[in-house]
Amino acid sequence: MPRDPLAWLPLLRHWTHCLGEGLEAIAAMGDLAALPELNLAALLPGGRGWMDVQRSLRHDPEAAFRLLYYGLALRGLEALPPPEQLVSPDSEEPPLISVLIPVHNHWPITLNALRSLVAMANDCRFEVIVADDASSDATQQLGRQLPWLRIWRSEHNQGFLDTCNGAAELARGELLLLLNNDVLVGDHCLDRLADTFDRYPEAGVVGAASWSADGRPQEVGGIVWADGQVWNHGRNALPEQGFALAYERECDYVSGCALAIRRELWQQLGGFDRLYCPAYCEDTDLCLRVRQAGRAVWVQPAARVLHLEGLSHSRSTEQGLKTHQVRNLAQLKQQWQPTLDTEQPPAGHPWLLAADDRRLLGRPLVLLLQPSAEAIANCRQQGYGVLALGESPQADVVSLPLGWRDLERWLLEQLPEAGGPEVLLVGAPEGAAGALATRLQQARPKWQLIARATGLTPQPGGIRLPALPGWDRQDLRVLASSIGLHGDGWLETPSRLVIQLLGEGERADSLRLGLYLPEEGLQAGDRTELIQLDMAAETISQELKPGLNPVVV
Residue 87's pLDDT is 98
Total domains present in the chain: 3
Q: C-alpha angle with apex 526: 525 to 531, nearest 5 degrees?
A: 125
What is d(CA 484, CA 486) in angstroms, rounded to the nearest whole number? 6
Cβ-contact 391, 448 below 8 angstroms: no
What is d(CA 182, CA 405) in angstroms, rounded to the nearest whole number? 37
> Which residues contact residue 78 at a Cβ distance below 8 angstroms, ignoring those fewer than 6 apart?
5, 111, 145
Q: Report the CATH number at residue 436.
A: 3.40.50
Taking residues 424-436, report their average pLDDT: 95
- In this model, does residue 165 exceed pLDDT 90? yes
Among 250, 247, 286, CA closest to 165: 286
Taking residues 306-313, report their average pLDDT: 78
Among 163, 157, 97, 91, CA closest to 128: 97
- In this model, does residue 486 exceed pLDDT 70? no
Same domain, 448 and 488: no
Three-state DSSP class for residue 547: strand
Same domain, 411 and 492: no
Same domain, 441 and 365: yes
Residue 193 domain flag: no
Radius of gyration from C-alpha coordinates of the chain: 26
Same domain, 410 and 374: yes
What is d(CA 553, CA 543) in angstroms, rounded to the nearest whole number? 15
426, containing H or E segment: strand 423-426
Give CA 50 to chain center in angstroms.
39
> Which residue type is seen at 31?
D
Among 225, 186, 230, CA closest to 209: 186
Beta bridge partners of 424: 366, 448
Cβ-contact 101, 129 below 8 angstroms: yes
Residue 262 domain flag: no
Residue-range definition of the domain harbouring residue 420: 360-455
| Confidence band of 312 (pLDDT split at 50, 70, 90) | low
Residue 130 domain flag: no
Taking residues 291-320, report their average pLDDT: 82
Per-position b or e across 431-453, b if 16+ CB within 10 A of its CB:
eebbebbeebbeebeebebeeeb
Give per-residue pLDDT as tens, 337-350.
878 877 888 777 88
What is d(CA 336, CA 338) in angstroms, rounded to the nearest whole number? 6
pTM for the full predicted model: 0.85
Residue 174 domain flag: no
Residue 223 domain flag: no
Residue 21's pLDDT is 96
Three-state DSSP class for residue 418: coil
Among the candidates 420, 455, 490, a domain finishes at 455
Residue 539 domain flag: yes
Residue 41 domain flag: yes
- In this model, does residue 489 exceed pLDDT 50? no
